[in-house]
Amino acid sequence: MDEDLYREIILDHYKHPSNFGYLPEANAKFRDSNTNCGDTIQMEVRVDGGEIRDIRFTGVGCAVCIASASLLTEKVKGAKISEVMSLGEKDVLSLLGLSSITPERGKCAMLPLKVLKASLIQFQKQA
């Protein structure tokens, strides 16, 4: 085990995630899961003028996955769509305070960003 995985910040966000819940005024929404572990994340986003005005998420997952979703939603509130699209694994790891992650757990960490991007891509297609 990477002891870092169970640092304060990850455990805190796992137990008390920010922005957990539904967003009735959302105009972008996507849900996906990791086939191997069954982690599921749904992102609900309100986009106005190319910016993320509000965001909520729901889902089930391990500590890394939920903490990643929680930290990510905090970070992207107010961000431009293009800024979100340029985020990558490095950014997610830095939010989690990790310098590296195993490939298997990397999928857990990256699921929320993957779902968020998918919701925005779908939003742009519809617009």
List of residues contacting other proteins (CB under 8 A) = 1-3, 5-6, 11, 15, 36-40, 60-65, 105, 108
- Residue 80 half-sphere exposure, CB side, CA atoms within 13 Å? 3
Whether the CA torsion 21, 22, 26, 30 is positive or negative: it is positive
| Cα 99 to the center of its chain, rounded Å | 18
If the CB atoms of residues 100 and 126 are measured against other proteins, the closer one turns out to be 100
Smallest gap from residue 38 Cβ to other proteins (A) = 4
Smallest gap from residue 49 Cβ to other proteins (A) = 37
**Helix, strand counts (H, E) of the chain:** 5, 3
If the CB atoms of residues 18 and 40 are measured against other proteins, the closer one turns out to be 40
If the CB atoms of residues 2 and 25 are measured against other proteins, the closer one turns out to be 2
**DSSP character string of 54-85:** EEEEEEE--HHHHHHHHHHHHHHTT-BHHHHH
Smallest gap from residue 6 Cβ to other proteins (A) = 5
Smallest gap from residue 64 Cβ to other proteins (A) = 8
Closest CA relative to residue 106, chosen from 71, 65, 66: 65
